[in-house]
Structure 1
Amino acid sequence: MDAKVLIESFADFARTKNVDRPTMIRILEDVFKAMIRKKYETDENFDVIINADNGDLEIWRYREVVDDDSEDIWDYDKISLTEAKQIEPDFEIGEEVSEQIFLEDFGRRAVQMARQTLIQKIKDLEKELLFQKYSELVGEIISAEVYQILGREVLLLDADGNELILPKGEQIPKDRFRKGDSCRAIIHKAEIVNGNPKIILSRTSPIFLERLFENEVPEIYDGLITIKKIVREPGERAKVAVESYDDRIDPVGACVGMKGSRIHSIVRELQNENIDVINFTENLELYIQRALSPAKISSIALNEEGGRVSVYLKPDQVSLAIGKGGYNIKLASRLVGYEIDVFREITDIEEDDVDLNEFTDEIDEWVISELKRIGLDTAKSVLALSKEDLLRRTELEEATIDDLFSILKQEFE
């Protein structure tokens, strides 16, 4: 293989990978200089001249002529007078010899190795460019095509055919993909694993929801409305606190849109995730009330040092505050930055309800005391809560709570 064929084949390969001309020339120079170093031990007195357009390659070696008996005769940049005269008879001591080196002088094996090295360098460069590209795009939304569905991840291809990964843990639980589907997600992170770039996507990140709002709500994109905080239970529920710096703009109304037109497309993208948009405020009590919506709070007791908030509600509001699966109170706590404890407001016992003290022959007193500690004083107030909520708010074990529910339910059967 001569230099022309080698350079042209490499240049064609590089162009298909969108490698710019200066980078292409630099890679070629690096490979040829590596060949020179392998044969001559140094490349300091060599010039490599490449024309990638027509495949021309010139390699020149420069050495100073010295006397045959000189101590410097073995230096890499020196040549004896006798040897110099074999190149050109009229050379004299002190002159510089310019000698052209041809690719064939390196041997066929060295040329084949150079070709393989060139291809590998392009592949390495391609990986580096891919990593740099996606490192700069972390947090941005992307649309890619599903091409393979595996047990623990979904593989997608971007517009340039690069492989992207959507792990199971970054998928919304209700997501169902088929090959060829278009999938939207954010670029979660870019990393190098075993020398290869690994681009991870996410559909569960709060940033994904933020980007969807930016796409659907022009006021957010333009900076007229700011998203202060987003908390999510992917596929189930999300709470978004928004604020407007323009008094003429209603931030909640702008995000929801006329008859929900703006938020509906976001909800569909997130597999019908229930999204609560609330107006941010520095007034903590008001912020907590809004965060627990749609429940209506009767009173709030704030313990800032302990990082907890006790909220008291009427019996019919407790289940609303907790929400299905406890998501409402969990998300509200994360949104305001305080652990929220919900207490049933003590009122006169309903006619068909029963005071917990009536069950002392079946339920241990310490269990009743533990329930009263969190504001539960009647059978129905306990049954209004889920087992998960009682586990979170009391010191009771799961088996104890199961027995408790069984005893109290029998009272009303």
Structure 2
Amino acid sequence: MSREIIEAIKGLAAEKNISDEKLMAALEDALLSAYKKLPGAARYARVDVDPETGEFIVMRYRIPKDLEQELLVQTVEEESYIDPETGERVEPADPEIDAAKFEQYRDQIEEIDDTPEDFGRIAAQTAKQVILQRIREAERDMMFEEFRDRVGELITGVVQQKDSRYTLIQLRDRVEALLPKSEQVDGERYEHNQRVKAVIKEVSNSTKGPSIIVSRRDADLIKALFELEVPEIADGLVEIAGVAREPGYRSKIAVVSYADGVDPVGACVGPRGSRVRMVVSELRGEKIDIIPYNDEPARFVAKALSPARVREVIVDDEARQATVIVPDDQLSLAIGREGQNARLAARLTGWRIDIKSETDFASTADDEGFEEQVQDGGRCAAVLTNGRRCPNAALGGSPYCGLQLHQALSRFTTSSVAVLTGLTDADVASLADPEKSQDDVAEIVGRAEAAYAEATPVEPVADDEPLPDEAPEGVADEAQAAEEPQEAAVAVADEPAAEESAPEAQEEPAAEGEGSSS
């Protein structure tokens, strides 16, 4: 063998990106296989190739009978098989000698130079087959080592072919991945030569080479796409804390920021929604809700039900269950189509979520034992629209619970939430804000009380019919005098013109009494 063979081996190693040592070992095994095809070849032998000159020698072993079984490596007998790539029959290898035991009994083994002058055509064909097989095995091992640690990574490939079972995606030359039907999104079509993005789901090794399974349904695809589009996520300033996904329909992601001044939701949305729009486009129109992560379960559950507005969340830490109270008009939005919004929120937070409207919660609070949760602060004094009292516990120093709607009742003389009917959310927030200016609060209170009085008029009493429980004149005068300061306080909250109407109000005390009782 000449140096041209050695140069060809080195060129092949550079082309296939395989180490020279592996190809030289493959060459020695090929020459040994060719030697064993010759008539009279020894059963146990070895081939040594000089990597500089290309010269080789074949050393045959003469092993005593009593040592033969001691030196052999215990191997499973295999039958010959057809190589699926070349179509050639591959014969099973002869039993090998254990190198460690060979060195131990080397002085009892005779080595004889048995280098043949010519291998012949059959032996040369065998050597070629062995070299090609070793090269394929080396390529498979390299491919497996390259992709085994890339599970969950985003890859881009070109669709080559598809059938009812899977779609074949080419990642690069001689590297292909399988997109099974179970990992495809319902409704998506993958056309020939179309570029698609997917995440590596699984990498396994087999006799036919490494099998790379990719997925378009996995939640890691959302994370990888946002990392590709959002620099803050790639730099570690923003992290996706959780993903809940129903492929092809809707996804919810929880994001958290680890840098001051970085809004995690704004970073993922991007200028005018450009970043999230790219992700939605790659997912072919799948809707994405971006939610700020919160360590407090109640706040996190409330945000997870976005875009629905939540009034209150009652959590049970031991059972990891949250009861969510929403306005009556927000119940269908909180549940979502076929329960999708609630289902995704439960997956994202890891809590079991029970959604109730305010009316349903008030009517079932007694039966479900929510009143037992009331502690030292007492029960909330708010009276709901159905006439029942709020079952929540009152906050310390306040007769009402933590609901913003009920805290707003502290501005009124009545505890019925009906007085707030017709007010906007901004008005309710202003009433519940203790730092809001008194002028703004007085204007909202006056408007709400006027609407409340108009909605609930008092039935007129006949002139000839005595008033029930009528008090003596002296007592009535004292009661009227006691009510005058309150009437004056209400007048201050009204417009300045109310001062001119004060004399008229004194002339008609009965009319004023009806309005205040309303």
State if a TM-score over 0.5 links the two structures.
yes
Greater mean alpha carbon deviation, residues 298-307 or residues 317-326: 298-307
1:41 aligns with 2:55: no
Aligned-partner residue type, residue 320 of structure 2: G
Contact 2:154 2:200 in 1 (8 A): yes
Q: TM-score, normalised by structure 1?
A: 0.69
CA shift for structure 1 position 110 = 2.8
CA shift for structure 1 position 159 = 2.0
Say which one has the larger Rg: 2
Contact 2:325 2:361 in 1 (8 A): no
Name whichever structure is richer in strand by fraction. 1
**CA deviations over 1:227-286 (Å, ceiling 9, x no partner):** 111111111111111111112111100110111011100001011111111111101100
Contact 1:33 1:48 in 2 (8 A): no
CA shift for structure 1 position 158 = 1.3
CA shift for structure 1 position 182 = 0.6
Indicate the residue corresponding to 2:190 in structure 1. Answer: 177
SS of corresponding position for 1:101: coil
| Match for residue 154 of structure 1 among 152, 167, 171 | 167
Indicate the residue corresponding to 1:278 in structure 2. Answer: 291
Aligned-pair identity (%): 35
- Unaligned stretches of 5+ in structure 2? 63-106, 369-518
Q: 1:91-130 residue pairs with structure 2 within 5 A?
A: 99=113, 101-102=115-116, 104=118, 106-130=119-143
| Match for residue 141 of structure 1 among 140, 154, 164 | 154
Contact 2:322 2:353 in 1 (8 A): yes
Q: Which has the higher contact order (CA 8 A, sep 6+)?
A: 1
| Distance (Å, rounded) in 2 between the aligned partners of 1:234 and 1:204 | 6
| Distance (Å, rounded) in 1 between the aligned partners of 2:319 and 2:271 | 42
Contact 1:147 1:156 in 2 (8 A): yes
Q: Number of paired residues? A: 319
**CA deviations over 1:337-395 (Å, ceiling 9, x no partner):** 0111111221799xxxxx9xxxxxxxxxxxxx9xx98xxxxxxxxxxxxxxxxxxxxxx
| Match for residue 246 of structure 1 among 252, 255, 259 | 259
Greater mean alpha carbon deviation, residues 201-210 or residues 107-116: 107-116
1:260 aligns with 2:273: yes
1:205 aligns with 2:218: yes
**CA deviations over 1:211-234 (Å, ceiling 9, x no partner):** 111111101100111111111111
| Distance (Å, rounded) in 2 between the aligned partners of 1:149 and 1:6 | 42
SS of corresponding position for 1:346: helix
Q: 1:332-371 residue pairs with structure 2 within 5 A?
A: 332-346=345-359
Contact 1:48 1:60 in 2 (8 A): no
Q: TM-score, normalised by structure 2?
A: 0.56
**CA deviations over 1:110-136 (Å, ceiling 9, x no partner):** 332121111111112222211221112
Contact 1:42 1:76 in 2 (8 A): no
Indicate the residue corresponding to 1:360 in structure 2. Answer: none
CA 1:285–1:41 in structure 2 vs 1: closer, same or farther (change >3 Å)? same
Contact 1:312 1:345 in 2 (8 A): yes
| Distance (Å, rounded) in 2 between the aligned partners of 1:290 and 1:21 | 59
**CA deviations over 1:127-180 (Å, ceiling 9, x no partner):** 221122111222111111101021121111112231211112212223211101
SS of corresponding position for 2:265: helix
CA 1:314–1:160 in structure 2 vs 1: closer, same or farther (change >3 Å)? same
Contact 2:35 2:123 in 1 (8 A): no
| Distance (Å, rounded) in 2 between the aligned partners of 1:206 and 1:240 | 10
Contact 2:237 2:259 in 1 (8 A): yes
Aligned-partner residue type, residue 318 of structure 1: L
Provide the alpha-carbon RMSD of the alignment: 3.2
Indicate the residue corresponding to 1:392 in structure 2. Answer: none
CA 1:316–1:171 in structure 2 vs 1: closer, same or farther (change >3 Å)? same
CA shift for structure 1 position 15 = 5.0
Aligned-partner residue type, residue 101 of structure 1: T
**CA deviations over 1:296-328 (Å, ceiling 9, x no partner):** 112222223223222121221111111123221
